Amino acid sequence: MKPTIAPYPNARFRRARQSESIRGLVRENTLTVNDLIWPVFVRDGEGIEEPVPSMPGVVRRSVDLIAAAAVEAQALGIPAICLFPYTDPSLKTEDCAEAWSPDNLSNRAIRAIKAAAPDIAVMTDVALDPYNIDGHDGYVVDGEIVNDATVEALVKMTLAQADAGADIIGPSDMMDGRIGAMRRALENAGHHNVMILSYAAKYASAFYGPFRDAVGASGALKGDKKTYQMDPANSNEALRLIERDLTEGADMVMIKPGMPYLDICRRVKDTFGAPTYAYQVSGEYAMIQAAAQNGWIDGEKVMLESLLAFKRAGCDGVLTYFAPAAARILNG
């Protein structure tokens, strides 16, 4: 039953806004450090921090400095760090075999983080694009991104990451049936506690450009990803995909991009009640940073407001490049 609101002046909504202490008492949503997952980019070498020009403040780090970053994140109380590799072009092939090599960048970084910061959860990316000479998330055969053969490769990649010590597997490929195949493989291999945070509703978005620069996929990509990533016009399809992935064994689900798709976040949380995350992607981050650097907005305030929007939309957490900066502010 819809509550009755008293007429003015019996109801004065400004009473609840009169001071910070009162506003805190009635605040509906709160952002904390526990809501943050920090995506980081790993590259080969030692002692290297290489700026990503299209993402001000973001760098590619060598494995040793990724471990140091994880120590920093753990000290800030950030619960999880997510790895994305910048793979040497010479290792990109049609068969993508580097994707499941025990000694690839991601797997070396997992082990280094676990040794240096054992209390932080390590999330990985599962997709073939960092290793594919064609820049696609799946195998390309006669111009088609094929599904089932790609799923077989993704399973091998999943097991290699789990063997290296990953806590959370993040399939970002959008192939059909991959969650069920990964879950069965993890169970059969004894990795019963490895979680799957599925990129269940990942849209074919124009907001990913700076990320592709960061992982070196921009120049390699041939064509687009519209045959496997979602049409930005669709909403009901997202719910069907979320339901499928939860049924197949996903522990948590993600919507990507973030702020342009807050309506999807809200629908997913209201419909399923499952742990729901969003990715504040590179284009969103870059726009805020560019406007802040030009003095057009207050960067810190917009950063925190944008992150709070995810909580208001029903998200349990957010992957964001702002994680360390936000954590320092939230920690006071």
For the stretch 316-326, pLDDT in tens is 999 999 999 99
- On whether residue 18 sits in a domain, the answer given is no
- On whether residue 182 sits in a domain, the answer given is yes
Look at residue 38 in the predicted model and tell me its pLDDT. Answer: 98
- On whether residue 310 sits in a domain, the answer given is yes
Q: What is the CATH number of the domain that holds 233?
A: 3.20.20.70
Domain, as residue range, for 175: 31-330
Query: Taking 90 as the threshold, does the pLDDT of residue 58 lie above it?
Result: yes
Look at residue 4 in the predicted model and tell me its pLDDT. Answer: 84
Residue 91: DSSP 8-state: G
Mean pLDDT of 54-69: 96
Three-state secondary structure call for residue 29: coil
- On whether residue 9 sits in a domain, the answer given is no
Answer for the pair 205, 257: CB distance below 8 angstroms, yes or no. yes
**Annotated active-site residue in 92, 202, 269, 311:** 202
Q: Which of 309, 308, 316 is nearest to 272 (CA)?
A: 316
- On whether residue 20 sits in a domain, the answer given is no
Residue 230: DSSP 8-state: B
Q: Which of 31, 123, 78, 24 is nearest to 315 (CA)?
A: 31
- On whether residue 41 sits in a domain, the answer given is yes
Look at residue 254 in the predicted model and tell me its pLDDT. Answer: 98
For residue range 172-225, what is the model confidence (pLDDT) as tens digits? 999 999 999 999 999 999 999 999 999 999 999 999 988 878 887 666 677 889
* Residue 42: partners with Cβ closer than 8 Å, 6 or more residues away: 60, 61, 62, 63, 66, 83, 84, 85, 86, 105, 106, 109
Answer for the pair 164, 201: CB distance below 8 angstroms, yes or no. no
Q: Which two tokens stand for residue 121?
A: 């959860």
- On whether residue 40 sits in a domain, the answer given is yes
For the purposes of burial, counting CB atoms within 10 Å of the CB of 96, is it exposed (0-12), middle (13-18) or buried (19 or more)?
Answer: buried
202 noted as active-site residue:
yes
- On whether residue 24 sits in a domain, the answer given is no
**Annotated active-site residue in 92, 256, 269, 311:** 256
Q: Which of 322, 193, 192, 196 is nearest to 254 (CA)?
A: 196
Helices (H), 219-278: 236-248, 262-272
Q: Which two tokens stand for residue 288?
A: 């805020």
